[in-house]
Structure 1
Amino acid sequence: MDSTHEQRHPHRVVVKVGTRLVVDADGLPRRDFLNRMADEIRDLMDRGIEVLLI
């Protein structure tokens, strides 16, 4: 694999998670935002991508 492939298909992503989030940028309540984020993380993990939460 070349570096171009690596950039387009990461094996690991880092997600910075704020602890004081009340609503997200779209105005969704925290619970809805966290549920959506969990679904997206689950999808990444199902595709074999390691997700690091910081």
Structure 2
Amino acid sequence: MKEADYDEINYMFLVVILIIAINYLLLPIFNMNTLGLFPRLVHIATTYILP
């Protein structure tokens, strides 16, 4: 049970950190392609965390 909670927290943190980091690094590009990059980021994060 604890492992599942930790995995969920880690997953949420990684997704948030990825979105924030890319928002900071590619603010102008991200603003234009938010709808295109968001699913890609979620898919990449999901693939990394949940193979």
Q: Does TM-score exceed 0.5, indicating one fold?
A: no
Q: Which has the larger radius of gyration?
A: 1
Between Structure 1 and Structure 2, the one with more helix by share is 2
Structure with more of its chain in strand, by fraction: 1
Shorter-normalised TM range: 0.3 to 0.5
TM-score when normalising by structure 1: 0.39
